[in-house]
Copies of this chain bind each other. A is one copy, B any other.
């Protein structure tokens, strides 16, 4: 699959840009897998689709769950194996039209290996599922971000017909910058379940950091190219030009970035609509473009030159993530004229991109109180012709800095239920500082909760299996299974062990919450076992109740003390 095993980074053609003077990740320790979990592969038609298999005790069948963690035991210096290299090469060798997007193939009726892969990954039938994937991609209701220069990525799909996905933001800033930290955050984010990762670096070594990330990422990588452009003009937005922007897009597309956030909807005329807001423009990209527009008193060049941008996107199959540069930054500013004016423009740009067969998703807010969330989804759906929605939270209140993973998980779960395809995480550090490793995990777990809750509410096939399996384990006092089935086994076990650390407690039919005498689960099991032993089925019991069978009661009493000391 890869005959450059002995090459060190960089692995792109652009090697001259990457003088690795010293090893920036020398100190990075290996990362552990999740407990009782095995990475298995569904093998079909030459595809090997990864799944995490959680093994259970007591003869229970294992549970297979979606897995984002990527290949194990690879050397970060070599980058990941190039899973998609042959597929891409095959397409380029035969019938390359210069347009390499999955949408382009889908619209020509071609089911790519990537489409089959995601069908299997989503638990669908490989044939009918792949056709569903193709058709959703063709009509633009889903995207499959897959830059031809990121062959390491394991294909995934973002669309309302599929499982709700989550994105984790990483990236350094000028205040804090270590490549190893960002690579570590990437590994940490995908270990806990991030479906895509955005590298939002704004500091030094933007290019080098990104190279380390892309080469080692099994998930699609997104960026906001204007950040690097601004570095190139030494922080002066007025000096930005479309040529510099296109050059930067090509640089990043060459590296393999899978989707770009582009704030092409921040039109000159909309900027004054933000003047009376409580928090003005809170999107970095949005404020940069607003400043450019005002300084030149010209229309946003990302808007006017949008077709030139499309030309780059389609050559590499980079998807648009049309940025919401005018998203509300506070409850007060939610659903205002500026926000929705921009959304309308994003709909117009979606159609333009689709003319080029370029994949598009639409970014959404931000800060929105619960009663205004649905309007966002419905309007986006209508104005943007069902292109997938990709929202940041939203936070449902402004009053809890330090806990915005929670304020936003509330909004994220709801907006996911209403039809959003991917949820961009918010960490506890939002508004306060740059997330570290712990914050990345806290954000990912909160968003796995939100996405899963949304899948449940949408009735997504199979979503409830994990809930049911865990609840059954809980009810049967299979403590270790309960931990292993949870989103964060380490924390679940640690919390349990704080009060009952003895290994024997893992088999105990109680916990420290109620102690052995008060455990309702234990009592219920006793009741159920007794009922079964006496032939007291649900139906029979109802009859018994009706008949007032006092004799049964006497038997029940004789069955003795239900409180059994823990084994």
A interface residues, Cβ below 8 angstroms from B = 173-176, 202-203, 227, 230, 235-238, 268-269, 271-276, 278-284, 286-288, 290-291, 294-298, 329-332, 367, 369-371, 396-403, 405-407, 409-410, 413-414, 417, 428-429, 431-434, 436, 445-446, 448-450, 452-454, 456-459, 464, 466-468, 470-472, 474-475, 482-483, 485-488, 491-492, 494-496, 498-500, 511-521, 523-528, 530-531, 536-538, 541-542, 544-545, 548-550, 552-553, 556-557, 561-563
Contacts and interface: CB of A to CB of B under 8 A. Distances in A.
A236 B482 CA distance: 29
Contacts of A397: 449, 452-453, 456, 467
A320 B458 CA distance: 36
A369 B433 CA distance: 33
B279 A499 contact: no
Contacts of A498: 433, 436
A471 B329 contact: yes
Nearest to A532: B275
A562 B516 CA distance: 66
Nearest to A445: B403
Nearest to A531: B275
Given A332-B471, A401-B483, 8 more contacts: A272-B537, A281-B524, A284-B518, A369-B456, A396-B456, A397-B456, A399-B487, A403-B449
Nearest to A430: B513
15 contacts: A173-B514, A236-B561, A279-B471, A279-B521, A297-B550, A331-B456, A397-B449, A397-B453, A400-B488, A401-B486, A402-B494, A403-B488, A405-B406, A409-B409, A434-B513
Given A295-B557, A474-B431, A500-B175, A453 B407 contact: yes
Nearest to A551: B297
The dominant DSSP class at the A interface is: helix
A537 B273 CA distance: 10
A188 to B, nearest CB: 17
How many copies of this chain does one complex carry? 2
Given A468-B331, A542-B269, A549 B371 contact: no
Contacts of A512: 173, 175-176, 433-434
Given A434-B513, A552-B297, A410 B238 contact: no
A454 B453 CA distance: 19
What are the nearest 4 A-B pairs in CB distance?
Answer: A297-B553, A272-B541, A280-B524, A330-B471
A525 B290 CA distance: 12
Nearest to A458: B371
B553 A296 contact: yes
Given A269-B545, A369-B456, A446-B406, A400 B487 contact: yes
Contacts of A548: 297
A368 to B, nearest CB: 10
A253 to B, nearest CB: 22
Contacts of A563: 235-236
A479 B61 CA distance: 53
Given A173-B513, A230-B517, A491-B402, A499 B371 contact: no
Contacts of A515: 173-175, 202-203
